[in-house]
Structure 1
Amino acid sequence: MKSILVLGGTGTTGRRIARRLSADGLPVRTASRTGGDVRFDLDDPTTWGPALAGAGAMYLLEPALRPGADRRHRVPRLVSEAVAAGVTRLVLLSAYGVGGADDGHPLKSAEQAVRGSGVDWTILQPDWFAQNFSESFWLPGVRSGTLAAPTGDGRTPFVDAEDIAAVAAAALTEDRHCGRTYRLTGPAALSFGEALDVIAAATGRTLRHLDVPAAAFADRLTEEGVPAAAARLLTGLLVDVREGRGATVSDGVQQALGRPPRSFEQFVGEAAAAGRWA
């Protein structure tokens, strides 16, 4: 039986997918620059072949979203190599709104490559991860008590990474998801201030959202070492929240899994119990 290869296997979605597949007794291998079952680096094509060996299905993502010719081409090149190596099913982690992005967006070419691969495919387009508050970008702000972001009172339906992983695991193993693009969101749109209120209620801490000008936010990111192009892209995505773009709740989780998505309150309760904000 061929294995299921999970790229980014130590990351937010990858480790959750691998855990689900392993629990079902399926042969899964995690691939990452460090810490995975096999070393894999999108910037080092010599690592691709050993990782792909014996794989029949693959979960893939583009971790670096700053524009650039190399990033437009490396996932399509990987897709071609994977198909040539015998991979017959691809599940791509993309993002909401990629269809309307310009051709320089690396996920645009990734989606096109997967759709044109000639093998079974599924594309996941999630909203902002709820886990950004507990594991990633926004955790330092939550821990400090003030989360600065240029989002105003705009709302977005944060999606639990557990739901993304559940849909990905299903798509990697079930035929009915082939050829589908799922937009994945939580069940309700919240502002950053409202999300912080939920976390504050669960932790007993005082938290606030500080709205900041977009230019100042982008400048701060670059001062912290984020490449300028990536800082502009991230800032623009947050400004989209301010302006109400992408605030619509989707039924993608329901379509894929036959159940409603997990609520932000469920995510917060479990994260607080696990000591994420202690």
Structure 2
Amino acid sequence: MLVVIAGGTGRLGTAVAGRLVEAGHRVRVFSRGLTPRPALDPRVEVAVADVRDPASLPPVLAGASVVVSAVQGFVGRGGATPANTDRDGNVALVDAARAAGADVVLVSLVNASPESPLELGRAKAAAEEHLRRSGVRWTIVRSDAFTQAWVALLEQTSKNGRPVVFGRADNPVAWVDVEDVADVVTAAVLDGSLRGRTLDVCGPERLTLGQLALAVMRRGGVAGRPRRVPRPVLHVAARTVGVARPVLGRQMRAALAMDVMQPADDAATRAALPGLAGRGVSEVLGLRRR
């Protein structure tokens, strides 16, 4: 079986590709020319294509049984945005997969909806709706916020080891280990009985953004508290600085949204996939061992 992974050079795509190759499947990953992660298994085929360019997709999807979408435009590399990548790019990918006769596993976001306070949540919801209406056999994996991605964002804002925390940062989030998401995506690829299902996946340790920042500081041996941008200032900055620097603006708006978003629950997914691991933030950061 050939599995093609869009966005396959990222952290999640690399992890899924490795699992599928180990299971004996042929895997092809593609991205818009980004350098593959060093962890990508050398047995994986690497191709160049861009979900924002529909004409580039048919050659890389040829012969695929399952297409996985692990694309994301939140961090904005190469001009990617939630609108042109997570919404429009996924629409193009689903249409190309339908033409190739392949199933689709779409990686989405917990609480994705047209009314989401997150631009990414609205874009993913539009992609989900298109997939459900496409006639393609599908599975949707909805993930909570990746622990590793938000730790990296916090580290990028650090000064003397103290990261910047936006907003109130007091709403618990079930930060999820990328490796746990990869386990669910891999199961969705291989288990045809999961077609037509939406699988939420969350982490077992609920921490606020402020607590996550403190955990990052603890790992670095830094005392004190994170630096903070109050919510009123953040609103103004998102409308000013965030316009000139769109990626920073998305991060600011995401922090505002995380102040009010409801926690997700992945009990149904764990019932469907018994034995699914669940590493909390402390384990991902090496602060606590199993």
TM-score band, normalised by the shorter chain?
0.7 to 0.9
Separation (CA, whole Å) in 1 of partners of 2:253 and 2:272: 29
Can you give the 5+ residue segments of structure 1 that lack an aligned partner in the other structure? 272-278
Q: How has the CA–CA distance of structure 1 residues 61 and 18 changed in structure 2, closer, same or farther, with 3 Å as cutoff?
A: closer
Matching residue of 2:167 = 150
Aligned position for 2:190:
173
- RMSD of aligned Cα (Å): 2.9
Structure number with higher relative contact order (C-alpha < 8 Å, ≥ 6 residues apart): 1
Q: Could you list the runs of 5+ residues in structure 2 that have no partner in the other structure?
A: 37-45, 75-80
Matched, 1:4 2:11: no
Deviations 1:230-266 (A, max 9, x none): 82x54333223223x2234432552353135211111
**What's 1:215 paired with?**
235
Output the CA distance in 2 between the equivalents of 1:31 and 1:154. Answer: 36
**How far apart, CA to CA, are the structure 2 residues paired with 1:79 and 1:85?**
10
Q: How do residues 1-278 of structure 1 correspond to structure 2 at under 5 angstroms?
A: 2-34=1-33, 35=35, 37-64=46-73, 66=81, 68=83, 72-87=87-102, 89-101=103-115, 105-134=122-151, 136-142=152-158, 144-148=160-164, 149-206=166-223, 208-212=225-229, 213=231, 214-218=234-238, 219-223=240-244, 225-226=245-246, 231=249, 234-243=251-260, 245-251=261-267, 254-259=270-275, 260-269=277-286
For residues 17-44 of structure 1, the C-alpha deviation after alignment (integer angstroms, 9 at most, x for no partner) is 1111122221111111123601111222
Note closer, same or farther for the CA distance 1:270–1:57 as it changes in structure 2 (3 Å cut). Answer: farther
Q: Which amino acid aligns with 2:99?
A: A
Provide the residue aligned with 2:42 in structure 1. none
Amino acid at match of 1:92: L
Say which SS state the counterpart of residue 190 (structure 1) adopts: coil
Conserved 8 A contact 1:9-1:31: yes
Q: Deviations over 1:31-89 (max 9, x none)?
A: 111236011112222210111111110111452365658974442232122111121x2
**Number of residue-to-residue matches in the alignment:** 263
In structure 2, the CA distance between the partners of 1:30 and 1:85, relative to structure 1 (3 Å rule), is same
The aligned amino acid for 2:271 is Q
Q: 1:25 to 1:62 in 2, by over 3 A?
A: closer
User: Partners of 2:115 and 2:71 in 1: how far apart?
Assistant: 15
Mapped partners of 1:12, 1:70: distance in 2: 17
TM-score normalised per structure 2? 0.79
**Aligned counterparts of 2:84 and 2:265: Cα–Cα separation in 1:** 33
**Aligned AA for 2:266?**
S
TM-score by length of 1: 0.82
The code of the aligned residue for 1:16 comes to A
